[in-house]
Structure 1
Amino acid sequence: MSYKIRVLFICTANSARSQMAEALLRHTDDEHFAAFSAGTAPAAVDPRALSALEHLGVATNSLHSKSLDEFAGERFDYVITLCDKAALECQALPGAGEYLAWDFEDPVTSRKPDTYRHTLHEIHERIKMFVLVKNKR
């Protein structure tokens, strides 16, 4: 078995954006990447996020909210924050190879119609580009 690139997605609650990113990276390229997600203040996974993923045909059975503390001492090739608040709180996370700060609007607080599917699409496009670029190394 070859080495998988370890990626940790972080947002505040680990209820929507980071869950979507974890599931989408697994769905997009499980062969080369090991995806994880956590929150700085974890809450329950939002059922609307799960519904948006399932609508796209992405497996959600392994998703559950996790605290950043669960990953203490683990090494990651990439730590990707999905909101500005998490980016500020996670700048000094030990065990991180490279930090990437992506900022997506929180679908939980958005008033836009179909916000979960829109956020899912935006994250999916970014992940597809990430996979494309990182697989060329």
Structure 2
Amino acid sequence: MAEGYAKKILPANKFKIESAGVETHGLNPMAVKVMAEDGVDISKQYSKLIDLQYFNMADVIITLCGDARDKCPMIPAQTKSIHWSLLDPAQATGTFEERLEGFRNIRDEIKKLITELI
């Protein structure tokens, strides 16, 4: 979701957006659904592992969710690091609609945080 909003909101001539993690899990259909509700198509995105070469050359690294910061490789000293301590919506429990609402809440928070980067 963060990659989708970053690519939509941040100026492409100033930002190169890459998204990756320490594990791959596939694209969550609930994430695709709630992003489509807000006009952002992430259906072609996919889960990928961190490219250490790119990681080590990045100007800014943003980690999401509780343990991402702990599991992330050592961030280079010259790189600005931002951590957004968000709940992982994929861990939500309850009915389908309750889990979907969890995705919507995190989607909205991510959109707000990315907009604040400008």
- Return 5+ residue gaps in structure 2 as ranges: none
| TM-score (structure 1 length as normaliser) | 0.72
Deviation at 1:94, TM superposition (A): 4.5
In 2, Cα distance between the equivalents of 1:77 and 1:84? 22
| TM-score (structure 2 length as normaliser) | 0.83
**Larger helix percent:** 2
| Corresponding pairs, count | 110
Deviation at 1:96, TM superposition (A): 6.5
In 2, Cα distance between the equivalents of 1:92 and 1:115? 30
Q: CA RMSD in A?
A: 1.9
- Return 5+ residue gaps in structure 1 as ranges: 1-19, 132-137
**SS at structure 2 position matched to 1:44:** coil
Which residue pairs with 2:48 in the alignment?
Answer: 66
Moved over 4 A (4+): none
Matched-pair contact (CA < 8 Å) for 2:5–2:111: yes
Which residue pairs with 2:109 in the alignment?
Answer: 122
Question: Identity over the aligned pairs, expressed in percent?
Answer: 25
**Larger strand percent:** 1
In 2, Cα distance between the equivalents of 1:111 and 1:99? 30
Matched-pair contact (CA < 8 Å) for 1:73–1:95: no
Matched-pair contact (CA < 8 Å) for 1:79–1:98: yes
Which residue pairs with 1:15 in the alignment?
Answer: none
**SS at structure 1 position matched to 2:31:** helix
In 1, Cα distance between the equivalents of 2:106 and 2:75? 26
Q: 1:85 aligns with which of 67, 70, 76?
A: 67
